[in-house]
Amino acid sequence: MEIFNTTFSALQGQIDLSLLFFGMEKCEPGHNWGPGLRNTYILHYIHSGRGVFRTKESVYELEAGQGFVIMPDTLVHYTADETDPWVYSWVGFKGVNVKPLLQQAHIDMKRPIFTVYPAHSLDYFFEELESTFGTRGSDVRGLSILYRIMADIISSSPEIHPGRKTTHSHEDYIQKSIQYIESSYSQKITVLDIARFIGLDRSYLSGLFKERFGLSLQAFLLEYRMSRASELLQNPELSVSDVSRSVGYTDPFLFSKMFKKTVGMAPNVFRSKL
């Protein structure tokens, strides 16, 4: 068994998508894990062999070209076949974009499995992921590979069921809100400003974000600003006050307070650790 832990910044788990760790295992016959819980998303992809993945509600018999996603704080149990045990790779990740990415692939609590076509199309990505470990820029390269893995899973997923106009209209509201945030986050915009721009009640719009991302609109706006702030703090020519103004905070003390609340450390401490 090989396990690789990535070295990301202190914003790990707070930005759009963060690669946390990855690994590969050639299972012994009957090898099993669980029942147990994990505290993050972990995607398993089966290169060869067979096995069984169990959740509280369902049992899935899986083979090469298929995989499963362990959801945070969800009880699962999986076992390799006695005669043809599986060989699988896994990757752990967090971030604001996880839930919408999984939704595009039609992966959720009720159906935490997937199938890719052709069966071995993801093999190369996991080989590339391992080969980049420890190299210069491996964190950025690893994240790009994770996105490509998700893109292949999404492209292999079933077509969206027709006739769900309400879902599409909700998605339009969310995308327009995100576009507004992306273009206006450096100004003193509020949740009410966003809701007025979209033309919806702010509580209703916040509920759509909560359903889509697991975050209220207020929390999403804060996460987005702090994510941009973490990028700007890497520029030594910008003071903390400069960064504060650049992400919509005229009061640098309030900015520092919110940054510490979100990231877990003050901006100057974060910068010193880069």
* Confidence at residue 266, expressed as pLDDT on a 0 to 100 scale: 92
* Cβ atoms of 35 and 76 closer than 8 Å: yes
Count CA atoms within 13 Å of residue 50 on its CB side.
Answer: 6
Token pair 């998508």 is found at 17
Q: What is the pLDDT of residues 235-266, one digit of tens each?
A: 888 999 999 999 999 999 999 999 999 989 99
Query: For the domain with range 2-156, which CATH number is right: 3.40.640.10, 2.60.120.280, 1.10.340.70, 3.20.190.10?
Result: 2.60.120.280
pLDDT of residue 141: 87
- Name residue 25's amino acid: E
What's the pLDDT band for 8 if we cut at 50, 70, 90? very low
Spell out the domain ranges in the chain.
2-156, 165-273
Contact 35, 77 (CB under 8 A): yes
- Confidence band (pLDDT; 50, 70, 90) for 167? very low
Question: What was the pLDDT predicted at 153?
Answer: 92
pTM of the complete model:
0.59
Mean pLDDT of 148-157: 89
Could you give the percent of the chain with pLDDT greater than 90? 45
pLDDT of residue 200: 82
Query: 157 vs 44, which has greater pLDDT?
Result: 44
**Residue 13: pLDDT over 50:** no
Q: Residues 54-113: pLDDT tens digits?
A: 998 899 999 998 999 999 999 999 999 999 999 999 999 988 888 888 988 889 888 899
Classify domain 165-273 by CATH number: 1.10.10.60
- What is the Cα–Cα distance from 14 to 22, expressed in whole angstroms? 19
The residue-averaged pLDDT of 201-215 equals: 88
Mean pLDDT calculated for residue range 111-134: 85
